[in-house]
Amino acid sequence: MEKLRILKLLSDDTRYHIFMKLLEYDELCVSELEELLAIKQANTSKHLKLLKESYVVSFKREKNMIKYRIDEDFLNDNTDLIRYLLT
């Protein structure tokens, strides 16, 4: 994904905060993000869907919950951009 599209995707405050929490905690489920960011489940899921469709976020199913994380390929391909976002 080109850098400009990523920046546009993360220009939304909620998506940016979700992205940053996933970087900080490595892996979170919707309810954990909901609690950390004080946002509703439906809103969290909507933003995660956009991040997932853009290959920024990946997920894995653990029993009855889904854990989200920053996609490994995305991390490897965008280390310079991530460093920029962390400053």
Q: Which domain holds residue 61?
A: 3-86
The more confidently predicted of residues 87 and 9 is 9
- Contact partners, residue 59, CB within 8 Å, separation at least 6: 52, 66, 67, 68, 69
User: Which conformational region is residue 68 in: left (phi greater than 0), alpha (psi within -120 to 50 degrees), or beta?
Assistant: beta
Compute the mean pLDDT over every residue in the chain, rounded to the nearest whole number: 93
CA distance 10 to 16: 5
The more confidently predicted of residues 15 and 82 is 15
Average pLDDT over residues 78-82: 89
Q: Is the pLDDT of residue 1 over 80?
A: no
CA distance 43 to 50: 11
Average pLDDT over residues 15-27: 96
CATH code of 52's domain: 1.10.10.10
Count: domains in the chain: 1
pLDDT digits (tens, 9 = 90+) for 50-68: 999 999 999 999 889 999 9
